[in-house]
Amino acid sequence: MNFKSYPDREFLMMGLADRIASQLRETIQTQGHATFSVPGGTTPGPIFDILSGVDLDWGSVAVLLNDERWVPESSERSNTRLIRERLLTGRAAKATLVPLYAEAPRPEDKMAELAEGIAPHLPISVLLLGMGADMHTASLFPGADRLAEALSDDAPILLPMRAEAAGEPRITLSAPVLRDAMHTHILITGAEKRKAIEAAETLPVEQAPVRAVLKDATVHWAE
């Protein structure tokens, strides 16, 4: 992995937002459109705030989530809600949101429909990932029920995922879809996650699922 350390979180968010914006711009220039895939959780809010105000042809950008918790948008736990409130506002409101949730009791009920919506937007141009201290990324959790399937080279685009640490059922992009991204950034903060990502380099991928995307990723870290 390529590891980049920043003096503080503000430098990190500004620096990484700038890098992502340049990569999206370059992709739009060469391909006419770009796909930006993003994490949920507690870490990326500030980078979304910065990106939402960036001058970019957002109308040519499709925004996709790496994973979603199977809860409606009215829930505080909804990753879709986070990106609607923090990323898809201001200038970035012109981007197209590719859904990763639809009203249904279980993710299995909507898997085919959601995967069909995502397929035309692949491969991902710029992938921003988060990571939990347990070394999960997207919703590829250690010990999850369908982890082996999601890690395999012939995995489908999307999988439902259940794990004790995950709380509610999840839906996640599979490892091959994440690995196919043109540019991959992992955003982490704090000493615990730094230790975790360093440990992930030497652990089997089943114990440290973030390892599935580590080889070609740049890890961006600040205390």
Ligand X SMILES: O=C1O[C@H](COP(=O)(O)O)[C@@H](O)[C@H](O)[C@H]1O
Binds ligand X by CB under 6 A, chosen from 27, 35, 37, 43: 43
For residues 127 and 183, the answer to whether their CB atoms sit within 8 Å is yes
- Smaller CB separation from ligand X, 27 or 46: 46
**Token reading at 120:** 């035309």
**Token reading at 83:** 């990106």
Q: Provide, rounded to whole angstroms, the least separation between the CB of residue 87 and ligand X.
A: 13
* 134: Cα separation from own chain's centroid: 16
CA 166 to CA 142: how far, in whole Å? Answer: 10
Site for ligand X in 176-205 (CB under 6 A): none
Binds ligand X by CB under 6 A, chosen from 15, 41, 117, 176: 41
Tell me: does residue 37 bind ligand X (CB under 6 A): no
Binds ligand X by CB under 6 A, chosen from 16, 47, 50, 67: 67
Tell me: does residue 2 bind ligand X (CB under 6 A): no
CA 68 to CA 148: how far, in whole Å? Answer: 19
CA 131 to CA 149: how far, in whole Å? Answer: 20
Tell me: does residue 66 bind ligand X (CB under 6 A): yes
State which amino acid sits at residue 123. Answer: P
Q: Given the rule CB under 6 A, which residues bind ligand X?
A: 39-43, 66-67, 79, 130-132, 139
